[in-house]
Amino acid sequence: MLVSVLSLKGSPGATTFAVALAARWPAPARAVVVEADASGGDLAVRFSLTSTPGLVSLAAAARRGGNADLVWQHTQQLPGGLPVIAAPPDAEQARAALSALAQPTSGLDLLREVTRQAGVVAVVDCGRVDPGSPVLPIVRTSDAIIVLSRAHADNLAHLPRRLPSVARWSPNPVLLLTGPGYSTAEVERELTVAPLGRVPDDPRGAAALCGRAAAPRWLPGRSALGRFAERVAAQLAARQHPPSPEPEPPRLHPASPVLHAVPGVPPAAVSPNGVRPAPSPGGQAS
């Protein structure tokens, strides 16, 4: 499954939520975070990761072809063991890598191949997505899209024009609110779109997911943010694998027609074509 986490305006915490979502994806799925923010990545700096392997090395390797295993070869691990493909902090390098990775005959095919494997989920941190963004080919091929938006009027004002496009990109678009502002009911009334929920204000949990030194240990499942991400992940996983429909009861074949006795015609065998032999003049079947 390929899940894109993005915003349409501002920076409402897409990277932090993408990490939380992947970290709390229901077992036994194997989740990986792909940092695909065209403005540059944050994970390498936050968690003191090396410059390679990562998004740049994956984009270069994808040009030479390969199979889905290539994706895993360009990951590094966050505390707790979550594999990530980190983007370079430099925006120019990140855009160049994304432009190469999003080509249908190279990296995009590899991403789709790996996410079609049973039990594999790639959570793509797309950052802010604008028209013409190099990450759009990845977004448009996603199985689910999570749009994060702050709940103030100036942020929400941009959604009515762009949400119809988002709905065409994926069969499973989800809107999540962040921070203070309008309630989910008020947003639904104004946009005619029901937000799935509001990301909790959880500074300690966010700090742990951002790799800050003063943060508590890497235990996203014990934070409010981690528990919320777990509920969202469970709903998306359920949409991908809906419960099997109840089997239909066996259909009963209609009863065979009963041949009633006809006055003056004695019982006789029925021929293979379903016709009784006509009685002879003597009253016997001929």
Instruction: Give the model confidence (pLDDT) of 57-113 as tens digits.
Output: 999 998 887 788 899 999 999 988 999 999 999 999 999 999 998 887 778 888 899
Does residue 124 have a pLDDT over 80?
A: yes
Higher pLDDT, 279 or 202: 202
The residues facing 4 across adjacent strands are 124, 145
Is the pLDDT reported for residue 246 higher than 80?
Answer: no
The residues with which 128 forms a beta bridge, in sequence order, are 7
**Superfamily of chain region 2-240:** P-loop containing nucleotide triphosphate hydrolases (3.40.50.300)
Q: Which residues pair with 124 in a beta bridge?
A: 4, 34
3-state SS, residue 152: coil
Residue with tokens 């915490």: 13
Mean pLDDT in residue range 19-43:
95
- Domain ranges within the chain, ordered by starting residue: 2-240
Give the containing element (helix H, strand E) for 184: helix 184-191
For residue 147, the SS3 value is strand
Query: Considering the chain, what is the average pLDDT of its residues?
Result: 84
- Residue 203 pLDDT > 60: yes
Residue with more model confidence, 52 or 272: 52
Could you report the per-residue pLDDT of 144-154, keeping only the tens digit for each?
999 999 999 99
